Structure 1
Amino acid sequence: MSFFGGSSDLELFLSRSQVLSVSSVPVCLGAMVFFITEEGWHFSLLLCCVLPLIAAYLGVRGKREIRAGLAAAGLALAVATLPLSFVLASLEGA
């Protein structure tokens, strides 16, 4: 079964999804520490601590089981974590 016209494209997509979802964990944890110390945002504690770990799990599990939908869900969750924390922080400040 080919994905995007070739068999190596699926492996490339799964690898990139895994790397991006796992690399979002230290970025979000660092942002969480900054947000709490500088701005006092408390919603970022919940979002930046829990969601990147779930995204990393989905990315690793999607690559291991060769499931593109699971890897894409992990990637989408990893990408959406910081903007979602900014939105909740703006709601908290209002």
Structure 2
Amino acid sequence: MSFFGGAGDLELFLSRARVMSVGAVPVCLAAMVFFISEEGWRYSLVLCAVLPPVAAYLAIRGKREIHAGMAAAGLGLAVATLPLAFVLASLEG
């Protein structure tokens, strides 16, 4: 079984999940700063400050302990942070 169109290697999946989860942290923080300056403070943007570091921790720990489920959960949290913040912001306003 191949992950992300490459060779079917668990180590490759864990590495990519870690990199994408850690890379989501500055993206979400930058989006949070931009939206706070443009639209004012929203409580849903707290998710952009909390969920990406948690996701990065899960992905790093999943890579270190070779737990694909933990790495996938970290990747899922990292990917779902911005859409979830947008949905909650639309419900707030």
Q: Does 1:50 align with 2:41?
A: no
- Over the aligned positions, Cα root-mean-square deviation in angstroms equals 1.6
Q: TM-score, normalised by structure 2?
A: 0.89
Shift of 1:79: 0.2
* 2-structure distance, mates of 1:88, 1:39: 14
Shift of 1:47: 0.3
Percent identical across equivalent pairs?
74
- Could you list the per-position Cα deviations for residues 19-61 of structure 1 after superposition, in whole angstroms to 9, with x for gaps in the alignment? 0000000000000001111012422431000000000000100
Amino acid at match of 2:40: G
Equivalent position of 1:25 in the other structure: 25
Equivalent position of 1:10 in the other structure: 10
Equivalent position of 2:37 in the other structure: 37
Unmatched 5+ residue regions in structure 1? Answer: none
8 Å contact kept, 1:14–1:63: yes
Aligned residue pair count: 89
Runs of 4+ in 1 over 3 A off after TM superposition: none
Unmatched 5+ residue regions in structure 2? Answer: none
Equivalent position of 1:87 in the other structure: 87
Shift of 1:92: 1.1
Amino acid at match of 2:37: T
Q: TM-score, normalised by structure 1?
A: 0.88
